[in-house]
Amino acid sequence: MSIASEFKDFISKSNVMDLAVGVIIGAAFGKIVDSIVGDIIMPIVGKMTGGVDFSNMFIALADIPAGNVGTYAALKAAGVPMLAYGNFVTILINFIILAFIIFTMVKQVNRMKKAETPAAATATPDDILLLREIRDALKK
């Protein structure tokens, strides 16, 4: 079998295609969650905490250069080492929301799969099976 045909067989398998679709949808879904967190949830959390902007919460680990504004973006551009715990909080909230949404989606898919699967036929009682074996043995 040539490499080209092996590659064709590998690509045509459904789980490879499912993985590719999952990665693409996951990337798009990640952007949606980033927007929800950054544009909707974090401003509400900031308002509830008195206007705190989590993106500018950091601890500078070196001296701030003279004339620098002192914002996270300006210090990062200047190469000042920082502990950006505000950015971590934002990413943590992003993860929790994403994990909850995925949990909800998996739960719904599992519920739909249960509804689609027909109820399994009830198992035949042992005495009926024994009687059938006796009947079949007598026929011989």
> What pTM does this model have?
0.54
- Ordered DSSP codes for 11-62: HHSHHHHHHHHHHHHHHHHHHHHHHIIIIIIHHHHHHHTTS--GGG--EESS
The tokens of 30 are what?
């990640």
Out of 12-16, 40-44, 73-77, 135-139, pick the least confident: 12-16
CATH superfamily of 3-139: Large-conductance mechanosensitive channel, MscL; domain 1 (1.10.1200.120)
Chain-centre distance for alpha carbon 39:
20
Rounded to an integer, the average pLDDT of 44-50 is 80
Burial class (CB in 10 A: 0-12, 13-18, 19+), 89: middle
Length of the chain measured in residues: 140
Name the residue ranges covered by the structural domains of the chain: 3-139
Give pLDDT tens digits for 81-131. 988 888 888 788 878 887 888 888 889 888 888 877 666 667 888 888 889
Q: Is the pLDDT of residue 40 over 80?
A: yes
Say which residues have a Cβ less than 8 Å from residue 73's Cβ, sequence separation at least 6: none
Residues 81 and 52: beta-carbon distance below 8 Å: no
